[in-house]
Amino acid sequence: MNPETALRLLLVAAGALLVAGVARRRGWPAPLLLVLAGLIASPLVPQVELDSHVVLLVLLPPLLYSAALDSSYLRLREVTRPVALLSIGLVLFTMVVVGYVVHLLVPGLPMAAAFALGAIVAPPDAVAAVAVGRRLGLPRRTLTILIGESLFNDATALTAYRVALGAVTGSAFEFAGAAGQFLFAAVGGVVIGVALALVFGWLLPRLRDPLVENTVMLLIPFGAYLAAEQVHASGVISVVIVGLYLGGRMHRQGFGTRLVADGVWKVTDFVLETIVFALIGLQLTYVIPREYSAWQLAGYAAAVLAAAVLARFAWVFPTSYLQKTRPPVQNVVIVGWAGMRGVVSLAAAFAIPAGFAGRDLLLFLTFTTVIGTLLLQGLTFPALIRRLKVTSEQEVYEDNLAEAAAKQAAIQAGLDRLNEILPPEEELDEITRDVVGQLRQKTERRAMSAWERLGGGTGQGGSETPSVLYRRLRGEMLEAERGVMVRLRDERRIDDEVLRRVMAELDFEEAILER
């Protein structure tokens, strides 16, 4: 990479982080604002072409892995059928629908090339939808379905894309051969993912060093992806399997590993997603074909966008009612409208080899479909959720009730253990009695805070609960303590090393208060 390209990438990253920071401060959906900013800036900034290899080998694995770590295998197991119908059935259905629409619209474009476009635009990216859904309180089951779909649909789409690409570039299409490729990719990805998951599940707890463990975890998604892709299996499935397995076993890691991992993956997700959505908007200057009129391009783009959106509804509504538990129609509408496409589609389109029949048009139609779904569906998604009044208020109450009961049971177990290891009360010296009193007082405060949440006490309207009051007052004290420590360091009465140690203690206490 030459210095000029590196500088361009740095400027894009800096600008994207600035836009994302403003969006977070204002409470706006950052992915959509980044796409808009990229579109506006694309004619004005130095060109930064999306490199498909960078996306598929560098950006995709850690994003998938992080989403899998943060997901719940147990919750996904409860929605296996709808996730499979969306991540496999809907992807193939969308590929066929879009493929036939494009084949009918564009004379001379090979059928396999049209199906390749269908496979490219088939998989939605749930990042924007899930971010909005969590903020507005979508039911957990709906969010789990959207997350599960986005974890596995890339594997189906990329495999179908490779089959269609091969049919155009020389190898004749055979259903048996295509089905064999699908089966091998899926089974191979699962086998490699399970094998690596077992290896790393055994290794990580034995490292016993938070920095080393998290460094290894940063390398895992790339290793899992490349290991599967080397044998033409699905790297996506391999990464997701490893992430789900290790995410379910994070409780076996040390507390330091979990604290560091939480920060590491939040920063990683924020940086990568910010750059990805900015790059989507910046591709405008690369994707406009010259051999078609503006009216032709507009017509083709509208037709493909409509086909992709309507195909999702045509699939989601009937298949939603094949399940044992029939979801409310509002939830089905939400899932149907949550079909925003993302960077995987663009990366697959840019990976089409030069000289491929209709490559420029396929690039353009992929771009317009991605942008169209992000802006059309993404901008209206919050209003749709509010209009349909789909909320998780009952789930929140049930979660708070379950948390309070679970904390009460755990706290009682802790107190029982404390009583087991202590000598009789009359044998305790004054120091031990004071320490035990503090432990019991802190334990009672934790139990009280969980039950207070059920009563709705949040500190608003002058109705501060004891726990809220405690957090607020202790927060003020911590800020004053930090000020004194910094002043003493500036006066050279303590060293920077002392300041860092004390600040770490205060920071951990504040983190506990915030949690």
Q: Please give the full DSSP string across 381-401, using - where no structure is assigned.
A: HHHHHHHHT---HHHHHHHHH
pLDDT-derived band at 462 (thresholds 50, 70, 90) equals low
Instruction: Report the C-alpha gap between 268 and 221 in whole angstroms.
Output: 13
Model pLDDT for residues 18-37, shown as the tens digit of each residue = 999 998 888 787 888 888 88
CA distance 105 to 359: 16
User: 3-state DSSP call for residue 483?
Assistant: helix
More confident residue, 226 or 137: 226
| Rounded Cα–Cα distance for residues 52 and 344 (Å) | 9
Residue 322: its pLDDT value, please?
A: 79
**Can you give the pLDDT at residue 128?**
75
Q: Which of the four pLDDT bands, split at 50, 70 and 90, describes residue 4?
A: confident
Distance CA(142)–CA(134), nearest Å, equals 10
pLDDT digits (tens, 9 = 90+) for 336-389: 999 999 889 988 888 888 777 788 899 999 999 999 999 999 889 999 999 998
- What whole-number distance in Å separates Cα of residue 162 and Cα of residue 236? 14
- What the block records as the tokens of 130 is 């899930």
Residue 372 pLDDT: 93
Whose CA is closest to 443, among 435, 455, 432? 435
Q: How many CB atoms lie within 10 A of CB 129?
A: 29
Mean pLDDT of the chain: 85
Tell me the pTM: 0.83
CA–CA separation, 59 vs 243, rounded Å? 15
Q: Which residue, 95, 114, 241, 244, is CA-closest to 159?
A: 95
- Cross-strand bridge partners of residue 124: 341
Q: How confident is the model at residue 502 (pLDDT cuts 50, 70, 90)?
A: confident
| Residue 459's pLDDT band (cuts 50, 70, 90) | very low
**DSSP 8-state symbol, 341:** B
Tens-place pLDDT, residues 268-326: 999 988 988 888 888 877 788 888 888 999 999 999 999 999 999 999 999 998 777 78
**Is residue 409's pLDDT more than 90?**
no
